[in-house]
């Protein structure tokens, strides 16, 4: 149980990547008053949470409806997560909308909620971690709780965005992103190996 909790937490944490979101949030909201800045953060986490919980609940059902076996999604997701981890490690993750938001669009939706918090990686992670074939409802409830904890943690980090960024600086932020990338690479590799094992054992 403890191993599952830690694994789910780390998988969700590194794919949501609060540090990466923080790096986007600080320059994006630099000219916004502090009270308004936190409102943007709350909306971003709320929108991302709705998207991620929707995929957590019905993601596998949708895949089944369109005829995609979860083991296929597991392998594809693991490969994509691994590629994403390499981008984090080598510093090639592109921060969307670097020039600032357009006049008539809400930065809480883009790029903060999507694709920063509710990224392709985090969406895949919650679907893979709630496999109905191997996870009980209690296990899936644990995954949902870990997702909620990471979202709350992300919100707290965004609330303390300026002090945190000043403390760790750009160098510290880059180091933490790369460390999280290494962790994600290991988790993605494990996901791929489990998918291959499922194919070999005909468990799909």
CB-based contacts of 82, cutoff 8 Å, min separation 6? 184, 185, 188, 189, 192
The total of other beta-carbon atoms located within 10 Å of residue 193's CB is 12
User: Which range among 36-45, 103-112, 127-136, 185-194 has the greatest average pLDDT?
Assistant: 36-45
Contact between 45 and 153 (Cβ < 8 Å): no
Q: What is the pLDDT of residues 122-134, one digit of tens each?
A: 888 899 898 877 7
pLDDT greater than 60 at residue 4: yes
Look at residues 2, 7, 6 and name the one whose alpha carbon lies nearest to residue 194.
Answer: 7
Look at residues 6, 23, 3, 15 and name the one whose alpha carbon lies nearest to residue 184.
Answer: 15
pLDDT score of 147: 97
Angle between helices 137-159 and 18-28 (to 10 degrees): 30
What are the domain boundaries of the chain?
2-200
| Distance from C-alpha of 28 to C-alpha of 22, rounded to nearest angstrom | 10
pTM: 0.75
Contact between 143 and 8 (Cβ < 8 Å): yes
Query: For 116-152, b where at least 16 C-beta lie within 10 A, e where not — what string?
Result: bbbbebbbbbbbbbbbeeebeeebbebbbebbeebbe
Instruction: Tell me how far the alpha carbon of residue 28 is from its chain's centroid.
Output: 19
Q: What is the pLDDT of residues 132-185, one digit of tens each?
A: 777 888 889 999 999 999 999 999 999 998 788 788 887 887 887 788 788 878
In this structure, of 22-31, 100-109, 110-119, 126-135, the range with the lowest mean pLDDT score is 100-109
For residues 201 and 155, the model is more confident at: 155
pLDDT score of 86: 86
Contact between 44 and 106 (Cβ < 8 Å): no
| Cα distance from N-terminal residue to C-terminal residue, the chain | 24
Average pLDDT of 45-49?
97
């Amino acid at each position: 149980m403890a191993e599952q909790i830690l694994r789910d937490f780390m998988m969700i944490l590194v794919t949501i990547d609060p540090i990466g979101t923080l790096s986007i949030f600080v320059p994006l909201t630099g000219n916004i008053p502090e009270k308004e800045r936190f409102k943007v953060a709350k909306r971003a986490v709320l929108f991302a949470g709705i998207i991620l919980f929707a995929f957590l609940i019905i993601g596998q059902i949708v895949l089944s409806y369109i005829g995609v076996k979860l083991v296929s999604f597991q392998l594809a997701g693991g490969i994509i997560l691994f590629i994403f981890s390499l981008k984090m490690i080598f510093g090639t993750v592109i921060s969307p909308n670097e020039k600032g938001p357009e006049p008539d669009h809400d930065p809480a939706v883009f790029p903060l909620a999507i694709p920063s918090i509710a990224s392709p990686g985090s969406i895949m992670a919650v679907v893979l971690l709630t496999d109905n074939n191997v996870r009980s409802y209690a296990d899936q409830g644990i995954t949902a709780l870990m997702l909620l904890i990471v979202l709350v943690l992300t919100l707290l980090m965004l609330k303390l965005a300026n002090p945190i960024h000043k403390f760790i600086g750009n160098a510290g932020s880059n180091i933490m992103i790369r460390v999280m990338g290494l962790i994600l690479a290991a988790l993605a590799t494990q996901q791929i190996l489990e998918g291959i094992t499922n194919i070999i054992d005909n468990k799909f």
